[in-house]
A and B are shown apart, each in its own frame.
Chain A
Amino acid sequence: MALPPHIAGGTGSAPSRTPVYALVGNPNCGKSTLFNALTGLKQKVGNYPGVTVEKKIGTAYSQHGQPITVIDLPGAYSLAARSPDEAVTRDVLLGRRADTPQPDRILCIVDAANLERNLYLVHQILDLGRPVILVVNMMDVAIKAGLEIRIDRLEHELGIPVIACEAVNGRGVIDLKLAMSRADLPLSRHAWDIPAPIAKAVAELQASLTASDGKPPLIARAEALLLLTDQDSVRVAGSTPLSSRTAELLRGWQQRWEGEGTDWASSLVNSRYEAIGRIASAAVTQAGAAGPTLSDKIDRFATHPVWGWLTLGVLMTLLFLSIFTLAEYPMNLIDGAVAALADGVKANMAEGDFRDLITDGAIAGVGGVIIFLPQILILFFFIGLLESTGYMARAAFIMDRLMSRVGLNGKSFIPLLSSYACAIPGIMATRTIEDQKDRLVTILIAPLMSCSARLPVYLLMIAALVPGEQVPLLTKVGIMLLMYALGTFGAFGFAWLFKRTLLKGEPPLMIMELPPYRLPGLKDVMLQMFERGWLFLRRAGTVILGISIVLWFLAAYPKAPDGATAQQQLAQSFAGRAGHLLEPAIKPLGFDWQIGIGLISSFAAREVFVSTMGVVFNAEAEGDDTAPLRQALLAAKWPDGRALFTPLVCFTLMVFYVFAMQCVSTVAIVRRETNSWKWPLFQIGYLTGTAWILSLVVYQGGRALGF
């Protein structure tokens, strides 16, 4: 086989500095799992495409203990970027980013069960003329599917090291590290025929990219091919623009081809596919006829228009049942420990401001939030299980039918799904969406997904829903499902509205890979669960502790005259005055000034509402015994003696928190992702306005109905 003229034979010698490897591959082929296995880091992994939307950098060590820098790049099907996350991959590989070193070497990871499709990106990367190691991952899945991958044949055809791997079990990782440690890696010997009429255009563009854009010749050639076949249109912050000479040259060729009526770009793509087909047929053999796999059989049920929804509903019900039943015992333990700690401090310290700050501020505020740790852990354990098995991609498939009806892009599902944990990674995940309007719609509705910070608010309100008795389990589950459904369908409603007014446009068809079902990786699930638990505790021990201390001060100062009751003290404090200022606006919703203090403070983060209630109602409590927050809320009264936290008020508060934009961090991230203040301000306005209107409807409607 003749070598292509652009690749000189030989090897890519080791770089003098710490070698930089880029880890690239199609979405959901196991890049992040391999990245974690190589670097020992804990980058989030999931059995669905689009988990990684930013580059991540870690350090692996060679067999001799030398450091190797590894950059995990977002998944891409081709270097012709269609979305901002794919553009990051393309720009790093082409050396277009000033903030990232161009990789010296490339680890191409492919899914063994879908080798031919995955080889398209590999083929483009080989054009870059960099040393490449091919990692054929998920060999176990390919074997189960009856595929035989001839690694030696693949190595021969491509002329680069090829490592068989099962990253999830750590198999092949040592072989890979040995290959990565090699001082000299062979350059690819792959060949493919560029149609002759295009070769001239490639050569001209390559020369211009080298001379005017300062690109090394091989990178320039790869970029020239990309510019001519693509569509290389998506530019992101950090992308360096083409020089005017190259841009003019490119326009000239495109106009010439348009004038001739020939589609040379497609010819170039077809030519590449032919070369890939030859490699794949030599390296892959299918034992027997491929029948429906177990995943296919499960999917007939799990993606069915009726049974699919039923399955989703049952799974969500099970999730919330577990949250309420399994968490009860550890929650009582934490509750008891928090109360005992507060009582212990009260018993061992003389009365005074510092003691009050510790008990009514720090312990009441932080304790009120950390009590929900067991439920947060259970929530993320179940989410991790569903992600790890591959079910989440099926949920996306089912939801897409509904989402496409309201005009939402199918790719919005993963960002919206991530938003159930927290809107911030969800909004960042919108980078996988190609269309700017669709991306903006998804950003605008992402905070409507009930994030984990709302969970403590919902749980506290559900606990306070029925005075004097335990709320029946099924009622708790039903209300919780209702809140999640309200947020989700509310989001779809707003998407429908935005797509018909502010951000008109046709939704593109969703093309999404349904990964095969896998047994859940318990290690990853547990790691993810503990990481989320740790983040929750860290927030409680830092931001929420800080806010609770400040809130205590605002509730305790200025001091009322001697002899004033706790209620009078709170009413004339800074916090009380702010609450009173807000009261006229929230009284129609059934909320008083004390709840108003919680609404103001929880703009910092939603769960601060719970800690605020802890501070406000503990500060009000008379006597030295610390009562559980639920009892303190149920004892709260309006000045005329009516109960403050009636079931209707608790329900209205939950509805308010489903819709209100109570998160300053989300505002900041929307500002960054949209590069403007217009959209975050609009988002605050429409979400808080909706929250107020719907809460008014619920409260006044409920009262009219006699609740």
Chain B
Amino acid sequence: MSSQFQTIAALVVVALAVTWLVARAVRKRRQPGCGGDCGCPSRELKR
């Protein structure tokens, strides 16, 4: 894997990570809470 290709691949992964984190934060704004990460009721339990 050339150095240039590695740089492009790394930046794509970083962009995907940023997009996912931002989308997650926006979802949380709509439905504040831990999203089940902290052991509070999961969506399966809480409707």
A-contact 0/1 string along B24-42, CB 8 Å cutoff: 1000110011101111110
Within 8 A of B (CB), among A526-543: 531-532, 535, 538-539, 543
In the complex where A421-B39, A546-B17 touch, is A351 in contact with B47 (Cβ < 8 A)? no
Contacts of B32 in A (CB 8 A): 668-669, 671-672
Q: Assess whether A349 is in contact with B1, with CB atoms less than 8 Å apart.
A: yes
Binary interface encoding of chain A residues 101-132 relative to chain B, with 1 for a CB under 8 A from any of its CBs, else 0: 00000000000000000000000000000000
Please determine whether B37 and A538 come into contact, CB atoms closer than 8 angstroms: yes
Quick one: closest B residue to A99, CB to CB? B47
Q: How far is the CA of A545 from the CA of B3 in the complex (A)?
A: 23
Query: Are B34 and A41 within 8 A (Cβ)?
Result: no
CB of B34 within 8 A of CB of A350, answer no
Assembled-state Cα–Cα distance A352/B47 (Å): 47
Determine whether the beta carbon of B1 is less than 8 Å from that of A422: no
Complex Cα–Cα for A538 and B37 (A): 8
Contacts of A549 in B (CB 8 A): 13-14, 17
Whether the pair B14, A354 counts as a contact (CB closer than 8 A) is: no
Contact, CB under 8 Å: B10 / A354: yes
Residues of chain B from 1 to 20 with CB closer than 8 A to chain A in the complex? 1-3, 5-7, 9-11, 13-14, 17-18, 20
Bound-state Cα–Cα, A306 to B11, Å:
61
Q: Roughly how many angstroms separate A58 CA and B34 CA in the complex, as a whole number?
A: 21
Chain A positions 385-406 with a Cβ under 8 Å from a chain B Cβ: none
Given known A-B contacts A56-B45, A424-B40, A668-B32, A352 and B3 have beta carbons under 8 A apart: yes
CB-based contact B39/A532 at 8 Å: yes
Nearest-Cβ distance from residue A71 to partner chain B, whole angstroms: 9
> What residues on B are CB-neighbors of A351 within 8 Å?
3
Interface positions of A from 410 to 426, Cβ below 8 Å from B: 421-425
A553 at the interface (CB under 8 A from B): yes
Known: A54-B46, A350-B3, A355-B6. A539 touches B37 (CB 8 A): yes
B interface residue numbers (CB < 8 A to A):
1-3, 5-7, 9-11, 13-14, 17-18, 20-21, 24, 28-29, 32-34, 36-41, 44-47
**Can you give 12 A-B contacts (C-beta < 8 A)?**
A54-B41, A350-B6, A351-B3, A352-B7, A354-B1, A354-B7, A354-B9, A356-B10, A421-B39, A424-B33, A538-B37, A672-B32
Interface residues of A (CB under 8 A from B): 41, 43-44, 54-58, 349-357, 421-425, 428, 531-532, 535, 538-539, 543, 545-547, 549-550, 552-553, 665, 668-669, 671-672
